[in-house]
C-alpha cells in the first residue's frame, strides 16, 4: 500500500548506472585545498541562518589564518546553520589551485583578491551543473540524450578551465539555461516511466508550509519549487525531480526519496528527516537528523 493508501501497482524505480570511476569525485568540496573562499567571497545577513552580518569580500571572523573554520564542529549551535547547508561543488579548490595557481587571496594585490572572489561563484555555478549533468549520465532511461549531455559536459569543463578574465566575462545564466533544458529532457524521459498519469508538474510552485503528509508525488516535477517548512512526512517522492527545490526546514520524516532526481546533499542538510527516511545512494543521511530523533 502506498503513502496515500492506494494499492495501485508499484512504479518502476529508475536503476542508475554508476561509472567505474565517479567523475563527480572532483566536484566534492576539498576544504584543505581551498583558501576559505566561501568564508570570504560570499555575503550573509544576520538571520536564523547566520549570527552576524558579513559583506562580500569580507573574511568571516571565524575564519582562521590556515583557511579553516574555527567553529566548524559547532556551527549549528552558534547560529551559523547557513554554513552547514552550503556546498561549493569543488569550486573552491578549482579557483584556488587551478584558476589562480595556488596563490592565496591574502597574497598579492587587493584587485587580484577581488577577481578571485568574483570568479568563485561563477565556477560554483558551472560545477553544480557538472554535478547534475554527470548524474543524468547514470540514468538509463535518459539514454536518448546522453550524447548531448556528454557534449554539454565537455563544454562546461572547458569553461571551468578559463582564465579569470574569461570566467568573469562568462554569461553563466545563458549557459545554465541551455544545460537546464537538457536536464529537463533527461528528467522527462525518466519520469515518463514513474507513476504514469499520476505525474504532477509543480515546477516553481510556492508550497511553503504546505501540508503534504503522505502525498503521492511519485515522478512529480518539483524543480525550483519552494517547499520551505512543508510537511512531507511519509510522502512518496520516488522518481521526483527535485532540482533546485528549496527544502529548508522541510519535514522529510519517513518520506521515500528513492530514485529522486537531482537531489543534492545541501538540500538534505537544510531539511529535517529521520532514520526512516529513504534516500538515494548518491547522498548521505545528515548527522543532525539523528540528533533530532
Q: What number of other Cβ atoms are within 10 A of residue 135's Cβ?
A: 22
The pLDDT value recorded for residue 288 is 86
The pLDDT value recorded for residue 7 is 39
The pLDDT value recorded for residue 180 is 95
Output the CA–CA distances (angstroms, integers) from residue 293 to 38, 267, 277, 288, in the order listed.
30, 19, 12, 9
User: What are 159's three cell numbers?
Assistant: 569553461
Q: Are 244 and 224 in contact (CB under 8 A)?
A: yes
The pLDDT value recorded for residue 3 is 37
Angle at 241 between CA 237 and CA 243, to 5 degrees: 125
Three-state DSSP string of 103-152? CCCCCCCHHHHHHHHHHHHHHHHHHHHHHHHHHHCCCHHHHHHHHHHHHH
- Grid cell 553563466 is found at 172
Q: Each residue of 132-151: pLDDT tens digit?
A: 999 999 999 999 999 999 99
For the four alpha carbons of 98, 102, 104 and 108, in that order, the dihedral sign comes to: negative
The pLDDT value recorded for residue 282 is 86
The pLDDT value recorded for residue 108 is 81
pTM: 0.88
- Grid cell 561549493 is found at 88
User: Considering all CA atoms of the chain, what is the largest pairwise distance in Å, rounded to the nearest integer?
Assistant: 66
The pLDDT value recorded for residue 197 is 41
Q: Each residue of 66-85: pLDDT tens digit?
A: 999 999 989 989 999 999 99
Q: List per-residue pLDDT tens for the chain, 293 residues long.
A: 333 444 344 445 555 655 556 788 889 999 999 999 999 999 999 998 999 999 999 999 999 999 999 999 899 899 999 999 999 999 999 999 999 999 999 998 999 999 999 999 999 999 999 999 999 999 999 999 999 999 999 999 999 999 999 999 999 999 999 999 999 999 999 999 875 445 688 999 999 999 999 999 999 999 999 999 999 999 999 999 999 999 999 999 999 999 999 999 999 999 999 999 999 988 999 988 975 54
The pLDDT value recorded for residue 2 is 36
Output the CA–CA distances (angstroms, integers) from residue 120 to 42, 70, 117, 242, in the order listed.
9, 22, 5, 25
**What distance lies between CA 5 and its chain's CA centroid?**
32
The pLDDT value recorded for residue 22 is 75
Amino acid at each position: 500500500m502506498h503513502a496515500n493508501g492506494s494499492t495501485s501497482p508499484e512504479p518502476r524505480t529508475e536503476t542508475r548506472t554508476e561509472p567505474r570511476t565517479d567523475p563527480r569525485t572532483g566536484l566534492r568540496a576539498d576544504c584543505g585545498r581551498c583558501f576559505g573562499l566561501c568564508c570570504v567571497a560570499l555575503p550573509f545577513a544576520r538571520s536564523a541562518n547566520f549570527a552576524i552580518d558579513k559583506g562580500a569580500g569580507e573574511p568571516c571572523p571565524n575564519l582562521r589564518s590556515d583557511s579553516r573554520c574555527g567553529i566548524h564542529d559547532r556551527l549549528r549551535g552558534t547560529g551559523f546553520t547557513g554554513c552547514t547547508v552550503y556546498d561549493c561543488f569543488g569550486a573552491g579548490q578549482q579557483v584556488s589551485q587551478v584558476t589562480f595557481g595556488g596563490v592565496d587571496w591574502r597574497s598579492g594585490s587587493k584587485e587580484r583578491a577581488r577577481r578571485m572572489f568574483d570568479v568563485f561563484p561563477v565556477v560554483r555555478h558551472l560545477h553544480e551543473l557538472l554535478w547534475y549533468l554527470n548524474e543524468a549520465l547514470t540514468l538509463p532511461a535518459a539514454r536518448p540524450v546522453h550524447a548531448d549531455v556528454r557534449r554539454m559536459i565537455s563544454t562546461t569543463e572547458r569553461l571551468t578551465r578559463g582564465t579569470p578574465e574569461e570566467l568573469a566575462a562568462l554569461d553563466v545564466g545563458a549557459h545554465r539555461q541551455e544545460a537546464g533544458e537538457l536536464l529537463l529532457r533527461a528528467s522527462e524521459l525518466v519520469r515518463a516511466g514513474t507513476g504514469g498519469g499520476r505525474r504532477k508538474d509543480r515546477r516553481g510552485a510556492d508550497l511553503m508550509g504546505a501540508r503534504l503528509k503522505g502525498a503521492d508525488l511519485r515522478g512529480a516535477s518539483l524543480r525550483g519549487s519552494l517547499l520551505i517548512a512543508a510537511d512531507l512526512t511519509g510522502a512518496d517522492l520516488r522518481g521526483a525531480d527535485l532540482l533546485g527545490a528549496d527544502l529548508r526546514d522541510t519535514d522529510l520524516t519517513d518520506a521515500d526519496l528513492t530514485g529522486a532526481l537531482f537531489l543534492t546533499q545541501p538540500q538534505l542538510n537544510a531539511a529535517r528527516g529521520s532514520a526512516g527516511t529513504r534516500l538515494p545512494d548518491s547522498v548521505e543521511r545528515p548527522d543532525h537528523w539523528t540528533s533530532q530523533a
